[in-house]
Structure 1
Amino acid sequence: MDSFDAPGEPVTVHAPAGTIIGRRAGHVRRFLGIPYAEAPTGVRRFAPPVPRGRLPEPFDASRHGATSQRVPLFATTTIPEPSIPGDDVLNLGIVAPAPDDRGLLPVMVWIHGGAFLAGSPASPWYEGRAFARDGVVCVTVGYRLGVDGFAPMDGVHPNLGLRDLLLALDWVQENIAAFGGDPDQVTVAGQSAGGAAVLALLSSPAGGGRFHRAVSLSGGIFGGDAEAARDLLERLGRRLGVPPTRTGFGSRTVERIQQAVIDLRDEGGGRLVLGPCAGDDILPVPIADGLTVHGHDVPLLLGATGDEFDGGVEQEARAAARAAGTRVTDALFRSACARTAAARRRAAAGTWLYSFEWPSPVLGGAAHCADLPFFFDVLDAPGVARALGPNPPAGLATLMHADLVGFVRGQDPAWARATGAPGDPAREYGRPGAALAADTTGVYDPVVRAVEC
């Protein structure tokens, strides 16, 4: 079987979007690479996404679709992130249970990470078979990245990548019932940049009604700095020999632009600062401010790993660095959890915090991305042993996945809500020497104090 092929026998679904032919293997049905928008090429490049019309012919959904990532950010990434050629990058994949007598099932729409510059919805770490097993329809979404998705340029609508995601959520509302999913039980979830996108959508007036629950794993509040982004575009333009405009960048391929971004990074050309920016109808105010106003009817589960990008040292040194509250982990990720909980303290819907503490013997700590195979319950997926060692605890995956499935099904977590105040409750997963899951308080206290100061 090709690594991008879905296994099993053909299975056909007749949806408002058209006739879609996927594959069924046992209890799991897979429908991959379904276009939800017109290909963002030609005059549609650097333009808001255009909904895909009804598919005129039966669509073969047996393979993952094209990815926005053409050039990975790094030669080796923790998560396997395949790049797939093609123009139809605005596509989605659905993994759903075979029909039974349970009626319409809850839906989780997954947004991949990658610093808003890279990443792939076709990663085997995002394979939704365990969700299908447990009665959840899992949707993975592709969206525009980097310059094509988030460059602030004159004459270009900002936040095209977020507009893509909003259109994908509209497609889910209109079509997911044909695949057994309930459009009134949609959870939007993501990790890293995907988790940040979830917080951006939660803070946006445009997000209302498109999803009903939200999950942000290692998300951060990564609102883009338009001035810094324009400086990056100036340097990119000089490297590419074009003006930093829609016409200039439009004369260069996506591959060439993505490679130029990586070359700037490798030469120490400053931070890569493309991402959601405030100042339009999607994000009229910064994300942190929007969270105080919007999304208060949407329950939110969010958290971070214990070490994110600060692993590789002994456990005692990691604990001391965390107590100081000065790590990249604290500044970019854990502080965002506390700030988000504080912004939502008056929300009618709850906010719940978690912290992933299991230290990978390979990565040297509870590192960025190490929690994903546990939440997805895919410890047998390609690349997991390389990142987590040969024996990651299966019991922890069972427990973490069950907590996430319960939340997607509409259940409130078993631990108390957070308010952003010192002593906030959180669920800790996999702390050495403790139970696999332990409800605790004060996990984010040093970060809260740092932010309040």
Structure 2
Amino acid sequence: MSREEVCPLPRQTDPVVETPAGTVRGLRDGSGERYRALPYAAAPTGAGRFAPPAPHPGWSGVRDGTRSSPTAPQPTRGFGRLDMVPYFGPGWVPGSEYLTVDVHTPAADGGRRPVMVFVHGGGFVTGSNRAALYDGSTFARDGIVLVTVNYRLGIPGFLDLAGAPANRGLLDVLAALGWVHETAEAFGGDPGNVTVFGQSAGATLIGALLATPQAAGLFRRAIIQSGNGTGAFTPEQARRVTAAAAAALGVAPTAEAFAPIPDERFLTILRALAGLDLRTGTATDPLAGLSPFSLVLPVQPAESLADGPAGDVDLLIGTNTEEARLYLVPRGDLESTTEADVLTVATRTHPDPETALAAHRAARPDATPGELRSAVLGQALFESGTTRMARAHARISAGRTHVYSFGYRSTALDGRLGAAHTVELPFVFDIADEPWLHGDTCLLGPDPAPPGLAARMHGAWVAFASTGDPGWAPYAPQRPAVEFLGG
């Protein structure tokens, strides 16, 4: 938002907050107060798209915080017959100032309430805090200050380039947490009681924060929903993606060469990056070809937690029981999968695919090829890395790790979607009864949500953010307690 868009005078009925960067006007509703499009960093333009997030200069007058911000440049992404608009949001809404947060608070009154900071998913290439699933009304209703974050995606956010810092999207999230630390009190939040939580790519970013020294002191608790503690690319894998992107653009693989290229051009080459073979002599493809972007790290977060603040952070972590069905059911791939397809996935994601397949077949002797493919893919993308992260955290922070497994089966797509990736989100945000989530092609299917599940999950997340205890026994390697939700 430019200075010209700053509203000169607030209306008397609107809430107005003084922040370190300037004064902002929001909206009051039945659950509290909303403040949208608050910048936590300067707009990333030109060469700045490949630089660390820079401080925002602030503003004079009263900023209009009633309208949503632009979103990070991103492609349109479809999931066959399944309506995923509530998850992805409006897509790319052009505008330079998209490194922003939205705040939904019970009241900006100095109340020092627990703060929850949500980082969206979308495969590191799509998504924004404008998605309908991330409405903060229920968290504000229950005494939480909810902050939802936008960050750089795709090539500006995660392509590894000479002359640019790696993992710029992660640096954005760090900058947003710094903003929360400095600004939460103005919105009625407690900067000493911050929980960062996220789903999918957002959850993987949070796993990296746990191993990042610069994150120390920025949050007290973390929630990882369907992330991957071993989902980072090695430097060699990242170089392959960078080489392919540079070749598609016809430029050198440097930040200087990429700087003059418009965002629209970056989006047109994403198809050329899809399906790259990222297997190396020492690593399998941690994302199984589903995204050409991830964090780039020499050591996986699950193996380097001691390097960051993880030992001082409470952790709630879990997965859904049928994660990979999201990638198979909407396009009919669950039924059309062959044994060769199953072997292909296993080869891409396991150093010893035959042994891995034998274990899956022994555990599911009656499974169809599609069901086996789903199991292999789900374990590789989410379950294995989540288990390793939980064990690693429990070893360095005894009694502060809580694990869940979400098993409610969506009846979408003729009852076949099941407990797929993203299905837990409406329950976490306590909006599972919303009519736009129900119907055969909607995320939760035509059946009503099970009574009490949303209240139970949302309540557990609120309790964890408030006290560090979601309401069940902590996890330990020798006593691996897992709470089943909706199963």
**What's the TM-score once normalised by structure 1's chain length?**
0.85
Structure 2 counterpart of 1:216, which letter? I
**Which one has the bigger helix percentage?**
2
Match of 2:297 in 1: 278
Separation in structure 2 between the aligned mates of residue 292 and residue 349 of structure 1, nearest angstrom: 16
Q: Which structure 1 segments of 5+ residues have no match?
A: 1-7, 280-284, 432-453
How many angstroms does 1:299 deviate by?
A: 0.4
Separation in structure 2 between the aligned mates of residue 323 and residue 420 of structure 1, nearest angstrom: 27
Structure 2 counterpart of 1:134, which letter? D
The structure 2 residue matched to 1:166, chosen from 148, 168, 174, is 174
In the alignment, structure 1 residue 17 sits paired with structure 2 residue 21 = yes
Match of 1:425 in 2: 481
Task: Answer yes or no: is the 8 Å Cα contact 2:22–2:62 preserved in 1.
Answer: yes
Match of 1:338 in 2: 387
**SS of the residue aligned with 2:325?**
coil
In the alignment, structure 1 residue 70 sits paired with structure 2 residue 74 = yes
The structure 1 residue matched to 2:41, chosen from 28, 37, 41, is 37
- When the two chains are superposed, the root-mean-square deviation of aligned CA atoms in Å is 2.5
Structure 1 counterpart of 2:470, which letter? P
Separation in structure 2 between the aligned mates of residue 238 and residue 96 of structure 1, nearest angstrom: 47
Separation in structure 1 between the aligned mates of residue 467 and residue 63 of structure 2, nearest angstrom: 32
Match of 2:159 in 1: 151
Match of 2:205 in 1: 197
Task: Answer yes or no: is the 8 Å Cα contact 1:302–1:354 preserved in 2.
Answer: yes
How many angstroms does 1:325 deviate by?
A: 10
Match of 1:245 in 2: 254
How many angstroms does 1:318 deviate by?
A: 13
The structure 1 residue matched to 2:304, chosen from 290, 294, 298, is 290
Match of 1:361 in 2: 411
Structure 2 counterpart of 1:384, which letter? L
Match of 2:423 in 1: 370
Quick check: 375-384 or 164-173, which moved more?
375-384
Quick check: 179-188 or 380-389, which moved more?
380-389
Separation in structure 1 between the aligned mates of residue 33 and residue 433 of structure 2, nearest angstrom: 19
Separation in structure 2 between the aligned mates of residue 402 and residue 303 of structure 1, nearest angstrom: 16
The structure 2 residue matched to 1:307, chosen from 295, 318, 322, is 322
Match of 2:105 in 1: 96
Q: Which structure 2 segments of 5+ residues have no match?
A: 1-11, 278-288, 336-360
**SS of the residue aligned with 1:107?**
strand
Separation in structure 2 between the aligned mates of residue 401 and residue 172 of structure 1, nearest angstrom: 22
How many angstroms does 1:399 deviate by?
A: 0.8
Separation in structure 1 between the aligned mates of residue 458 and residue 374 of structure 2, nearest angstrom: 29
Separation in structure 2 between the aligned mates of residue 210 and residue 300 of structure 1, nearest angstrom: 14
Structure 1 counterpart of 2:262, which letter? T
Kindly, what percent of the aligned residue pairs are identical?
Answer: 39
Task: Answer yes or no: is the 8 Å Cα contact 1:28–1:96 preserved in 2.
Answer: yes
In the alignment, structure 1 residue 229 sits paired with structure 2 residue 238 = yes
Task: Answer yes or no: is the 8 Å Cα contact 1:214–1:301 preserved in 2.
Answer: yes
Separation in structure 2 between the aligned mates of residue 394 and residue 252 of structure 1, nearest angstrom: 51
Match of 1:412 in 2: 469
How many angstroms does 1:253 deviate by?
A: 1.7
How many angstroms does 1:262 deviate by?
A: 3.4
Taking a change above 3 Å as real, the CA distance of residues 318 and 259 of structure 1, as seen in their structure-2 partners, is: farther
Task: Answer yes or no: is the 8 Å Cα contact 1:338–1:420 preserved in 2.
Answer: no
Q: Deviations over 1:376-431 (max 9, x none)?
A: 0112457422111231224111110000010011241322211245x611111111
In the alignment, structure 1 residue 351 sits paired with structure 2 residue 383 = no
How many angstroms does 1:264 deviate by?
A: 3.8
Separation in structure 1 between the aligned mates of residue 227 and residue 73 of structure 2, nearest angstrom: 20
Task: Answer yes or no: is the 8 Å Cα contact 1:203–1:291 preserved in 2.
Answer: yes
**SS of the residue aligned with 2:14?**
strand
In the alignment, structure 1 residue 60 sits paired with structure 2 residue 52 = no
Taking a change above 3 Å as real, the CA distance of residues 159 and 269 of structure 1, as seen in their structure-2 partners, is: closer
**How many residues in Structure 1 have an aligned counterpart in Structure 2?**
413
Match of 2:50 in 1: 46
Quick check: 215-224 or 270-279, which moved more?
270-279
Match of 2:437 in 1: 384
Task: Answer yes or no: is the 8 Å Cα contact 2:463–2:471 preserved in 1.
Answer: no
Quick check: 319-328 or 353-362, which moved more?
319-328
Separation in structure 1 between the aligned mates of residue 265 and residue 78 of structure 2, nearest angstrom: 16
Q: Deviations over 1:194-252 (max 9, x none)?
A: 00111100111111100000000001121122222221222222222322221332222
Separation in structure 1 between the aligned mates of residue 41 and residue 307 of structure 2, nearest angstrom: 30
How many angstroms does 1:27 deviate by?
A: 3.3
Match of 1:434 in 2: none
Q: Deviations over 1:124-165 (max 9, x none)?
A: 101110000000000001111111111211111111111111
Quick check: 69-78 or 370-379, which moved more?
69-78
How many angstroms does 1:286 deviate by?
A: 3.1
**SS of the residue aligned with 2:311?**
coil
Separation in structure 1 between the aligned mates of residue 374 and residue 388 of structure 2, nearest angstrom: 14
In the alignment, structure 1 residue 327 sits paired with structure 2 residue 376 = yes
Structure 1 counterpart of 2:304, which letter? G
Taking a change above 3 Å as real, the CA distance of residues 337 and 45 of structure 1, as seen in their structure-2 partners, is: closer
Separation in structure 2 between the aligned mates of residue 218 and residue 9 of structure 1, nearest angstrom: 41
Taking a change above 3 Å as real, the CA distance of residues 244 and 97 of structure 1, as seen in their structure-2 partners, is: same
